[in-house]
Every structure is written in C-alpha cells, then in structure tokens.
Amino acid sequence: MLLKAFAKINWSLDITGVRPDGYHLLDMVMQPISLADDIRLAPAPDLSLHTDGYPPCRADASNLAWRAADLLRKKFSLSRGVRIDLHKRIPMGAGLGGGSADAAAVLFGLNRLWNLGLSQDQLKSLGLTLGADVPFCLRGGLVRTRGIGDLLEDRPCRISYWLLVFQPCRALSTGEIFKAYHAASSPRRPDTERVLEALSAGNPPLLSASIYNVLEPVSSSACPEIAEAVSSLAGAGAFASGMTGSGSAVFGAFRSRSLAEKAMKALSPRWKRIHLCHTQSDSIRIMED
C-alpha cells in the first residue's frame, strides 16, 4: 500500500489553559496542505523502517511511523510485521505535523492491511497516545481543534489557497517553546471565530486580520529568522502570513498560483527549500492498494 501523508498548517493557535497533569489546552484552526511524505507498507516477517528523502530522519524506534506500527502490533499481540518505506519531504521540527502525519498514515494503512476493523474513533484514541496532532491527521479537512488535540470540530471551507511554506531556521523543540511561552507575556490573541468565518466565506481580508499564533513571538525570539521570513512573505504579496504550530516553519497565503510563483521567485535568493503547495481536505490519500 502506497500512501501520501499530508502536512498541516495552523491558521491560528491559542493556549487557553493548562491541565493539572501539565498538558496544555489549545484552541487551533488547522488544515491539511498538499506537501506530503510518501509511505509504502508491505507485509514482512518483522517490523522495519527505511527512510530516504529530505530532511533525513532516523529509522528507529524514535520515529513516529515505527512507533505507530509497533503500537498496533502490541495492542493486538500480532506476530506479523511490515516493512515501512518513508520518503520525507515535510520539514521536521517545523510545526507542520510531519511526524504526526506519518504516524496517522501508518495507523490508517495498517488498519486496512491487517484487517483490524478499527473505527475512526478507535484510531483517534490510539493516535492521541502518539501525539496531539495525530487525531487531526487521521481526520483531515478544516478543523477547529481544542482540548489537548482530542476535541475536533469540522468546519466548512469555501476556497483552497495557494501557499509558500518553508523553514527559515533550525528545528525547534515544542516542549522548549511551550515552556518559554509561560515565561513571556502574550497580550495578543487570535480571533478564532472570525478565522473560521473568513475561511467559510472565502474572505482573505478578514482572514488576514484574524489569524494569529500565540507561540510566534516566543519562537521568533529563539530564531529571529522566523519574524524576518513572515515579514518577507507579506512583502512578496502574501495576503496572510505567519508561523505554524510551535515553529519553525512559516507560510504565506496567496490569491492565486501565479502570485505565489512570483513570490517564490523573489524569495528564493534569500530562503532555501521553499515549497509551493495549497490547502486541501485530504490528510491521508491511498495512491496504490
């Protein structure tokens, strides 16, 4: 089975509290984008992971794709294995959900390949044990995500927007960024309802005025290139630009592909590995079964 595991962006990200166990309570608007990793699953005597592409990633038990397969094997006491071939394109430590997307695709694919019969809710519960973004990556669409990533609400989206996405600096640690957030002040908050209204109506000016990520100032303090890149995207014609997740990737949204391509040409001398992509509804796609 060959699958595409799609990255995501956060149109907005807000922190609404912290649970007694230390997990952050979030309010986010998330959507898949066409930038994707390729995953091939093939029956095998044991579990193995093989990686290529860019960025290079570890092919061991630290990889979420491997951990997703191992989770299913242990839960169902399976002796069968699978060979996972992972071709990377999604930057890591970027807030694009690449590892979560890979884990979601492996859970989704093995549920079919091994005839496990798990429901969407069962897959979501398993996915949450691997990472907060995995339930969303199993679901796709425009989603308002709350709680610790477990409360998902589908929302309508009228238009698919062309994007430029790139990582202007080193990878960032999600844990370190959240820790630094509590030591800083963040008076600005996103207007989440207006973000959703703008995406539903296809209203770029309203979307531009409403999106925000409360982690962006903290991540920009760690990597000043983030703020520079967000500003560069706006200067190149993006009607909205910002950081996704806890960083360090940024995105700019454009009214047409031609405008995005023009901006990409202008920005390429300064920023490397810029991805031209678009928003979409699919988070996982079977290419070959």
> Active-site residue numbers?
8, 133
Alpha-carbon distance 167 to 35, whole Å? 13
Question: Beta-carbon neighbour count of residue 257 at 10 Å?
Answer: 11
Contact (Cβ atoms closer than 8 angstroms) between residue 3 and residue 287? yes
Alpha-carbon distance 289 to 112, whole Å? 10
Which of 80, 89, 112, 87 lies closest to 286 in space, CA to CA? Answer: 112
The values of phi and psi at residue 253, to 5°, are: -105, 140
| Residue 265: partners with Cβ closer than 8 Å, 6 or more residues away | none
Alpha-carbon distance 281 to 52, whole Å? 26
Terminal C-alpha separation, the chain: 5
| Residue 78: partners with Cβ closer than 8 Å, 6 or more residues away | 72, 114
The beta strand positions in the chain, using DSSP E, are: 2-18, 24-44, 47-53, 81-88, 142-147, 151-155, 162-166, 240-243, 250-254, 275-278, 284-288
Alpha-carbon distance 285 to 244, whole Å? 22
Alpha-carbon distance 29 to 192, whole Å? 7
